[in-house]
């Protein structure tokens, strides 16, 4: 694996949309008891459910710390590849490489952003994070992909979404937060995104989901269904602080043009009713200085926008809420060519994220084949 000094844009690479065809999906096994309750056992079962659901559509690799290898290998089905890898926690979207593709040659490279646990010593969620910061490099090495490394630019994969055709969506709450790149202006951050994602246009939402501990990652509030079309987490309850946030996003998205000059179609994706941490759930988490505590009654950042788009399928978080069915129905309409699969995800939510946050797709290295031709061929 080479570390390249150029940029993806200069080299003719772009980040593909998640709805494009994948070679596979990467995940990390959860285990830390100061984030995952009851010795991380319920979370491990939830991660197994997600891995099985995605495996119906594409190969899944689970990275596991050394002392959990035997347990993970035992709990996961044999069709999931298990790889020993040191990590601090289990958020592959945020710590894994952002893969970029070259449409002419089909070559794939990784972008390896600096990772500081969502805010470093300012408002990061745990310390240390050094093993997590090495994950992207290790995956590029295992996969034989060259990488671009940004030592001085902090970014997590969940803070960006792209349409694969030049448009990036992100939030100011996250990318302009004081714990990430405080010495850079908004313009400089935007230029870096364009350069390393091979993009031309950045759409800035103001804020993400209410009380999202990532400083409002975009992947919890909005996602591209396909170029020109997004889902946006939504509530009609004007007394909910989320209402103003979603309304503000809606105004921005419906008044913006994407990189190709298209108006965006915005689908409202209704949120579940507020989900609060129970006493039992709170008591199951170890207290450790430097890790965000899980307090009884705290509201969790639940949203169906945090789903994974797989080859021929979409895997949607479920919360045992009446909105679950509505979400599945909307996704069935929006993705008629894919199978819609719900996975109960409260245990992942309790750790601070959801299905999108724990998965990172690796694009397929075949040039000139359109995703739908491949989906149809399966």
Give the one residue of 8, 24, 158, 317 binding ligand KQY; rule: CB under 6 A.
158
42 binds ligand KQY (CB under 6 A): no
Interface with ligand KQY in residues 349-368 (CB under 6 A): 351-353, 357
64 binds ligand KQY (CB under 6 A): no
| 8 A C-beta contact, residue 344 and residue 368 | no
Using DSSP bridges, classify how beta strands 81-84 and 60-64 pair: parallel, antiparallel or unpaired. Answer: parallel
In angstroms, what is the minimal distance from the CB of 281 to ligand KQY?
14
In angstroms, what is the minimal distance from the CB of 9 to ligand KQY?
25
The residues, ordered by sequence, that sit 6+ positions from 203 with a Cβ below 8 Å of its Cβ are 167, 168, 169, 170, 252, 253, 256, 258
124 binds ligand KQY (CB under 6 A): no
Complex with ligand KQY: residue 246 or 359, whichever CB lies closer: 359
Size of the site for ligand KQY (CB under 6 A): 15
Complex with ligand KQY: residue 101 or 269, whichever CB lies closer: 269
Provide the CA 176 distance to its chain's centre, in angstroms. Answer: 18
The span from the first CA to the last CA of the chain, in angstroms, equals 31
Interface with ligand KQY in residues 179-238 (CB under 6 A): 213-214, 217
275 binds ligand KQY (CB under 6 A): no
342 binds ligand KQY (CB under 6 A): no
Distances from the Cα of 160 to the Cαs of 68, 95, 155, in angstroms? 31, 13, 9
For this structure, is 357 an active site residue?
Answer: yes
Task: Output the six-digit token pair for 80.
Answer: 């999931």
Complex with ligand KQY: residue 55 or 220, whichever CB lies closer: 220
Distances from the Cα of 206 to the Cαs of 243, 261, 299, in angstroms? 13, 21, 21
113 binds ligand KQY (CB under 6 A): no
Complex with ligand KQY: residue 39 or 376, whichever CB lies closer: 39
Of 280, 349, 337, 347, the closest CA to residue 310 belongs to: 337
In angstroms, what is the minimal distance from the CB of 351 to ligand KQY?
6
30 binds ligand KQY (CB under 6 A): no
Per DSSP (E only), the strands in the chain are 3-4, 22-28, 60-64, 81-84, 98-101, 108-114, 147-154, 161-162, 167-171, 201-205, 222-226, 229-234, 265-270, 275-276, 299-300, 308-310, 313-318, 339-344, 360-363
Active-site positions read: 357
Write out the residues near ligand KQY by the rule CB under 6 A.
Answer: 35, 89, 91, 93-94, 125, 158, 213-214, 217, 292, 351-353, 357
């Amino acid at each position: 694996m080479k570390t390249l000094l150029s940029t993806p844009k200069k080299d003719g690479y772009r980040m593909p949309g998640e709805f494009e065809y994948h070679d596979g999906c990467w995940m990390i096994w959860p285990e830390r008891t100061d984030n995952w309750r009851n010795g991380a056992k319920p979370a491990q079962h939830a991660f197994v459910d997600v891995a099985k659901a995605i495996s119906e559509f594409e190969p899944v690799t689970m990275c596991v710390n050394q002392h959990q290898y035997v347990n993970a290998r035992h709990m996961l089905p044999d069709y999931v590849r298990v790889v020993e890898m040191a990590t601090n926690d289990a958020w592959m979207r945020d710590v894994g490489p952002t893969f970029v593709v070259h449409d002419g040659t089909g070559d794939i490279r990784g972008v390896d952003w600096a990772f500081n646990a969502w805010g470093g010593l300012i408002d990061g969620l745990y310390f240390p994070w050094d093993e997590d910061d090495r994950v992207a490099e290790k995956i590029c090495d295992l996969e034989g992909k060259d990488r671009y490394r940004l030592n001085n630019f902090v970014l997590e994969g969940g803070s960006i979404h792209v349409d694969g055709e030049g448009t990036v969506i992100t939030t100011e709450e996250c990318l302009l937060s004081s714990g990430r790149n405080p010495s850079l202006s908004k313009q400089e951050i935007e230029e870096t995104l364009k350069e390393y994602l091979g993009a031309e246009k950045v759409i800035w939402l103001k804020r993400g989901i209410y009380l999202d501990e990532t400083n409002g990652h975009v992947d919890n509030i909005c996602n591209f269904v396909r170029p020109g079309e997004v889902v946006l987490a939504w509530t009609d309850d004007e007394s909910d602080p989320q209402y103003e946030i979603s309304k503000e996003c809606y105004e921005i998205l419906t008044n913006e043009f994407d990189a190709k000059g298209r108006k965006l179609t915005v689908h409202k994706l209704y949120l579940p009713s507020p989900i609060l941490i129970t006493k039992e759930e709170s008591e199951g988490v170890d207290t450790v200085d430097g890790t965000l505590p899980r307090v009884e009654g705290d509201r969790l950042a639940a949203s169906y926008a945090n789903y994974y788009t797989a080859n021929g399928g979409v895997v949607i978080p479920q919360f045992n809420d009446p909105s679950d069915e509505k979400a599945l129905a909307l996704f069935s309409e929006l993705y008629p060519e894919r199978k819609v699969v719900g996975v109960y995800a409260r245990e992942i939510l309790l750790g601070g994220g959801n299905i999108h946050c724990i998965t990172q797709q690796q694009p397929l290295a075949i040039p000139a084949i359109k995703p739908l031709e491949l989906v149809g061929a399966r």
